[in-house]
Chains A and B, each alone.
Chain A
Amino acid sequence: MAGTAGTVADLIAAEDVLLFVNAAVTSTGQREFHSGAGEQRLSLAFLHEYVRINYRPLYAAVLALDINDHNAARIVVDLLRTADEATSAQKRSEGRLIAARLAALPPQRVYRVFRALRTAGVNNRRTRAIQRDWLAARPDLGHDAVKYRSGLKTVARHAHQPLGSELGNFLFRPGKTARYADARLDAYRRARYEQGAIYELPFTVAEGFAAKHGVPRALFLERIAPRMTRLERLRTQRSTGMPTDLTAMPLTRLALFVLSLSRQERHARRTELTGALRAAAARVAGPHAGGWGRVSAVLDDSYSSSGSGVKRRRPLAVALGAHFLLEALAGSYRAHWLSGGSDALLVRPWGPSPLGTRVLDALEDSPDRLVIVSDGWDNAPPGLAGEVLRIWRTRLDGERRTSVVHLNPVYDADAFDVRRLAPSVPTAGVRDAEDLAALVEIAQFAEGRTGLPELLAYLDRRADAFLTGRGGDER
């Protein structure tokens, strides 16, 4: 479809796909600061359907990009649900992409996908094969049977998967077997009567049994500690007081954790937190560290960056993560927070968004790259940032010495895209600060200077890397 249909159609196709990518990266169908969950879901549902029907191969190829799990799951379900719309060649490539994506998704998400397939009444041979392969690749089905019991049950029943007699008995005929050979299954059986057995179970399952037995929370947390995942340990860290190794955390997760601490605590643990953030950023930057030249950043810490009840402080966490990542990537780096503050560790969502003024401040550093991380709501005064960037481009920097990129962590349900500051500034949606470098690459397509063939080539490249396993674990 590339090239022959005419450039206008090409441009529209490229724009549509980029629109969709931005939405698939940022929106999770949850409440945002400016729009409710209903609007987000409705808007996202329309985009999914529009892109699936009009650009089916591209729709599938998006699975290879760093889109969020919610949208990845949705694409998988939609592709399998509408398999009759695809040619057999398309089905083959879709199948490979789906399998690769399912392998990258967290297991609870995949079980939810399978449940959605069951609800939608999808049970063809290909779907069953995909489910069979995914189950075969699970390292320990006994663990899944205990932790994702109903999920595993659903998929086994729906896809007619034989699970072996013990697992089958555990899931479908509980109480029939006096003793299980698998230690995990047996621990689950015993946990109903025996307090000691609950500490052999995964944390979330054990939590329920602990409550049933009335085990004091502190004692329970202390004894279950070796069974917890890294994230569970971080989540309960406040109540247990157990030190967690922060240096192994991914960057945005870590930023979210830092923002959940009070300012006093952040101040007191400054060296530890800064060290962990720097380490995470350095890991992400990898070989590119220090290679970006002079970088200035405008980072949004206005009140709207507090996100919503379900995505608490997410936009601010992305900005904080981006701050440390850019620091690692840049040769020389300067940050401009909207509040005017200079201490990144103590940021809080507070006050208006004078984006225009801060962009002016940042341009005064005469950087090689200007990165703006903001939800795009510019209100003090409205539209100044767009005007400043427009005049900068047309009057002051015609030779493009400075490249400007706007990264937006919030999906705007009304506009079916992330909010832009100016038409001349490439904008990309961002969910994790880790993806920043890849997004800067994709943002250049949004500028309209590169067309559909380049975008298709880029998607092909990403899909190849994803399928061969080189790109899948970058995030």
Chain B
Amino acid sequence: MNGLDLTGLTVMPSQVWGGVRLVPLVRTEPVPGLRLHHEIYDRAIGEVQVGPRAHYLSYVPHGFIADWSGDGGQQAAYGSRLAPSADGGADCVPVRMHHRLAKRRRSKGVSEQRLRFLPLHLALEGYLALHFGGPSVVWDEWSQQAVRQGLSPRAEAAYAGWQVPGLGQALRIFEIHPGQCGVLVYTADSLAAAFVVPHPDDYRALHPSLIEDLYGELVYQYAHFSGDVPDFEVRIGGERHIRTLADLRLAARGQERNWVQGHDALMSARLLGPSYRFDRVYRMDRFALWRFLPSFSRSEPEQHIGEAICDHRGRVAYLKTFRLSDAQIRRGHLLDRLHDHDWHLDRTAEAMGVSRTQLVRRVEDAGFGSLLKHGAERASAR
């Protein structure tokens, strides 16, 4: 698997509010055998156990539950419920423990056909854990901290949806299409996030969850500084040839097709075009939960990380993406190249066509300065 396959999803005309454009994705029929619903956590700050002795703290407003039992008994949950009043004191931040990012649900000791996972955390962890362990060979230039703890701290800043200007209002007034199973969110006409679910009812229930999701800093900045984006208004040309109502209807249909083609070519190509590195997290019957990372190549302007549930033919049933900022892409690129050359500074510098001093500066600029020993740029290669 190296690309996203959105077969079965049709683009409908976008709805614009200020700098935010929402493009609905409609399925003619829902994906059989898989449903998604979410559980809301009363404590938005969660501690997630990712390994035997590894935990991280993060903003986790809700988890998704993928249900492939297919018995239809588990329907999409209603949007919200009343949480009991927080018993923790006001002066501390309550934390909820999540065991594992993706965890199969058990009921009375029997594992169910249901999987709980934390949306976007798989993808983010995939990005943060990019070469989690740090140097695989103990080169002189790397500090003891880098060797023992790897790339630490692993932290990325993100904005919650309600902090992105205009997004809340855009989601509120958005008119959901019948059969809609997904949405593409654009800010300043640049793709901010893609969200796809298997069933229209799931989408209806999960649509408000978009406001609680994480968005990259680029999305926030674009929404903050961009003006209103223009609506793609229909313009029917060639009126001279329209003589009957049927001609007019034909022309209108043509305009709708134009929008779909224009959108696919102009806007979503940057999501679907590039190839990704996929990493399977969990397999459930005919479906598999994947996370993916972009190529981090410097030539691609927009890069997304994300997670997807695909069926056995590779078609996407669930998709959620996170737009990386340029700085994040640069960091990923740098770590990628270091990994390719076993974290050997000289070989990496040579491969990247820069001097060793420049490479060290780049590592420091990327925020990884503490991993290098003082004076690493002067230490000679062994």
| B252 proximal to A (CB < 8 A) | yes
Please give me the residue from chain B that is nearest to A397 by CB atom. B245
Kindly state the separation between the CA atoms of A379 and B175 in the bound complex, as whole angstroms.
9
Distance (whole angstroms) from the CB of B283 to the closest CB of chain A: 36
How does the 8 Å CB contact mask read for A237-265 relative to B, with 1 for contact and 0 for none? 00000000000000000000000000000
| B256 proximal to A (CB < 8 A) | yes
Please give me the residue from chain A that is nearest to B233 by CB atom. A383
Please give me the residue from chain B that is nearest to A340 by CB atom. B178
CB–CB B239/A395 < 8 A: yes
Q: A303-B175, A360-B248, A383-B231 are known contacts. Are A396 and B15 too (CB-CB below 8 A)?
A: no
Kindly state the separation between the CA atoms of A298 and B174 in the bound complex, as whole angstroms.
21
Please give me the residue from chain B that is nearest to A360 by CB atom. B249
Kindly state the separation between the CA atoms of A384 and B239 in the bound complex, as whole angstroms.
14
| A235 proximal to B (CB < 8 A) | no
| B243 proximal to A (CB < 8 A) | yes
CB–CB A351/B248 < 8 A: no
Q: Which of A271-309 contact B (CB under 8 A)?
A: 302-304
Kindly state the separation between the CA atoms of A382 and B234 in the bound complex, as whole angstroms.
6
Distance (whole angstroms) from the CB of A458 to the closest CB of chain B: 34
CB–CB A351/B175 < 8 A: yes
| B157 proximal to A (CB < 8 A) | no
How does the 8 Å CB contact mask read for A343-362 relative to B, with 1 for contact and 0 for none? 00000000111001100100
CB–CB A388/B252 < 8 A: yes
Distance (whole angstroms) from the CB of A398 to the closest CB of chain B: 12
| A108 proximal to B (CB < 8 A) | no
| A331 proximal to B (CB < 8 A) | no
Residues of A within 8 A of B24 (CB): 352
Total residues of chain A contacting the partner, CB 8 A: 27
Residues of B within 8 A of A351 (CB): 175-178
Query: Of B232, B256, B259, which is in contact with the most chain A CB atoms at under 10 Å from its CB?
Result: B256
Q: A34-B173, A351-B178, A379-B15 are known contacts. Are A384 and B252 too (CB-CB below 8 A)?
A: yes
Residues of B within 8 A of A360 (CB): 245, 248-249, 252
Q: Is the interface of B mostly helix, strand, loop or mixed?
A: loop
| B381 proximal to A (CB < 8 A) | no
Distance (whole angstroms) from the CB of A40 to the closest CB of chain B: 15
Please give me the residue from chain A that is nearest to B235 by CB atom. A387
CB–CB B236/A387 < 8 A: yes
| B242 proximal to A (CB < 8 A) | yes
Q: Which of A33-61 contact B (CB under 8 A)?
A: 33-34
| A394 proximal to B (CB < 8 A) | yes
CB–CB A353/B175 < 8 A: yes
Kindly state the separation between the CA atoms of A360 and B234 in the bound complex, as whole angstroms.
15
| B13 proximal to A (CB < 8 A) | yes
How does the 8 Å CB contact mask read for A377-407 relative to B, with 1 for contact and 0 for none? 0011111101110011011100000000000
CB–CB A381/B255 < 8 A: yes
Q: A363-B245, A396-B244 are known contacts. Are A379 and B234 too (CB-CB below 8 A)?
A: no
Q: A380-B13, A396-B248 are known contacts. Are A387 and B234 too (CB-CB below 8 A)?
A: yes
How does the 8 Å CB contact mask read for B75-107 relative to A, with 1 for contact and 0 for none? 000000000000000000000000000000000
| A364 proximal to B (CB < 8 A) | yes
Kindly state the separation between the CA atoms of A34 and B13 in the bound complex, as whole angstroms.
19
Q: Which of B225-264 contact A (CB under 8 A)?
A: 231-236, 239, 242-245, 248-249, 251-252, 255-256, 259
CB–CB A364/B252 < 8 A: no
Q: Which of B167-190 contact A (CB under 8 A)?
A: 173, 175-178
| B218 proximal to A (CB < 8 A) | no
| B40 proximal to A (CB < 8 A) | no
CB–CB B175/A304 < 8 A: yes
Q: Is the interface of A mostly helix, strand, loop or mixed?
A: helix
Give the residue of B231, B236, B249 whose beta carbon is less than 8 angstroms from that of A382.
Answer: B231
| B12 proximal to A (CB < 8 A) | yes
Residues of B within 8 A of A388 (CB): 236, 248, 252
Distance (whole angstroms) from the CB of B276 to the closest CB of chain A: 31
CB–CB A364/B245 < 8 A: yes
Query: Of B14, B252, B255, which is in contact with the most chain A CB atoms at under 10 Å from its CB?
Result: B252
Distance (whole angstroms) from the CB of B232 to the closest CB of chain A: 7
How does the 8 Å CB contact mask read for B1-31 relative to A, with 1 for contact and 0 for none? 0000000000011111000000010000000
Give the residue of A356, A380, A381, A391 whose beta carbon is less than 8 angstroms from that of B239.
Answer: A391
Distance (whole angstroms) from the CB of B106 to the closest CB of chain A: 38
Kindly state the separation between the CA atoms of A395 and B251 in the bound complex, as whole angstroms.
13
Please give me the residue from chain B that is nearest to A361 by CB atom. B249
Residues of A within 8 A of B242 (CB): 391, 395-396
Give the residue of B175, B232, B243, B248 whose beta carbon is less than 8 angstroms from that of A392.
Answer: B248
Give the residue of A34, A302, A304, A396 whose beta carbon is less than 8 angstroms from that of B245.
Answer: A396
Query: Of A302, A352, A392, which is in contact with the most chain B CB atoms at under 10 Å from its CB?
Result: A352
How does the 8 Å CB contact mask read for B337-379 relative to A, with 1 for contact and 0 for none? 0000000000000000000000000000000000000000000
Residues of A within 8 A of B12 (CB): 352, 380
CB–CB A395/B243 < 8 A: yes
Distance (whole angstroms) from the CB of B167 to the closest CB of chain A: 15
Kindly state the separation between the CA atoms of A382 and B263 in the bound complex, as whole angstroms.
14
Q: Which of A406-434 contact B (CB under 8 A)?
A: none
Distance (whole angstroms) from the CB of B164 to the closest CB of chain A: 18
Kindly state the separation between the CA atoms of A391 and B231 in the bound complex, as whole angstroms.
20
Residues of B within 8 A of A380 (CB): 12-13, 175, 177
Distance (whole angstroms) from the CB of B263 to the closest CB of chain A: 11
Distance (whole angstroms) from the CB of B29 to the closest CB of chain A: 18
Write the residues of chain A forming the contact surface with B, with a CB cutoff of 8 angstroms. Answer: 33-34, 302-304, 351-353, 356-357, 360, 363-364, 379-384, 386-388, 391-392, 394-396
Query: Could you pull out 15 A-B pairs where Cβ atoms are within 8 angstroms?
Result: A302-B175, A303-B176, A351-B177, A356-B234, A360-B252, A379-B13, A386-B233, A386-B234, A388-B252, A391-B236, A391-B248, A392-B248, A395-B239, A395-B242, A396-B242
The 7 tightest CB contacts between A and B, nearest first, are A383-B233, A381-B13, A303-B175, A352-B175, A383-B234, A384-B234, A387-B236
